[in-house]
Amino acid sequence: MKKILILLIAILTHLQASTLNIAAAANLSYTIKALESAFATHHPEIELRVTLGGSGKMTAQIMHGAPYGLFLSADMGYPQKLYMSGYALTEPQRYTNGAIAFFTTKGFTKPLSPELLTSKQIDKIAIANPKTAPYGRATIEALQKSGVYAQVKKKFIYAESISQTLIFASSSDIGIVALSALYSPQLKRYKEGKNWAKVNPKLYRPIAQGMVFLKPAEKNPDYRLFYDFILSREAQNIFANYGYIK
């Protein structure tokens, strides 16, 4: 009887919902819901608690004890820093590649391009802070390679994260945002060519996004399930549907 009771307790414990605390880069704001829904069809017993924010700020939180078990960064640098500093259990694994785009709610007669940013029509340009946001660094690189950076840098309005850049862009003349945001249902009313255009990917290095296991994952093997799911073909197709590059 005692053995049966122990077995029942073990089964019930296993059936109880497992909670995963995940830190995710701000550029995943729109994609993460689709990923969560797809993951839930395979593992309804697992609850995902996702906190979104700038990768630099997330890294600082993790180094100050934030209880995340998995970190999906907007670059490879921040997770590598966590690994080298002993906060991550594994080296970063690339899970997707991000891209940037011009976005405006206004109408311009000229095409959306680096050259347009030098126009007198443009007074304010929203970008992510390159000191903390990988997408901001990609933006600066693209503008430098296109030869307009020196002319337009005084027009910059800096956002703390790439998701905040989208908000700033809506109240500025134009912004350089995560391409993935423009595939969200909330922004489908804005049209490619008129309201947004991809920044030529040859102007910046691929925004390789990496993820790492953090120390709390040692106590919960279910983190491996979500990690493997993110690398699965199903999840990769979701990323592609939101403008990420496989």
Range with lowest mean pLDDT among 102-106, 107-111, 213-217:
107-111
Q: Nearest 5 degrees, angle CA 80-CA 84-CA 89?
A: 80
Please give the pLDDT value at position 157: 97
How is domain 2-97+207-241 classified at the CATH fold level? Answer: D-Maltodextrin-Binding Protein; domain 2 (3.40.190)
Band of pLDDT at residue 194, cut at 50, 70 and 90: very high
Please give the pLDDT value at position 132: 85
pTM metric for this prediction: 0.83
Instruction: For the chain, give every domain's residue range.
Output: 2-97+207-241, 99-203
Q: Quickly tell me which residue has 């009887």 as its tokens.
A: 1
Three-state DSSP state, 223: helix
**CB within 8 Å of 129: residues ≥ 6 apart:** 54, 136, 158, 159, 160, 161
Band of pLDDT at residue 8, cut at 50, 70 and 90: very low
Band of pLDDT at residue 188, cut at 50, 70 and 90: confident
Q: Which residue has the higher pLDDT, 168 or 186?
A: 168
Q: Would you tell me which CATH number, out of the four given (3.40.190.10, 3.40.50.300, 3.40.50.360, 3.30.70.330), belongs to the domain 99-203?
A: 3.40.190.10
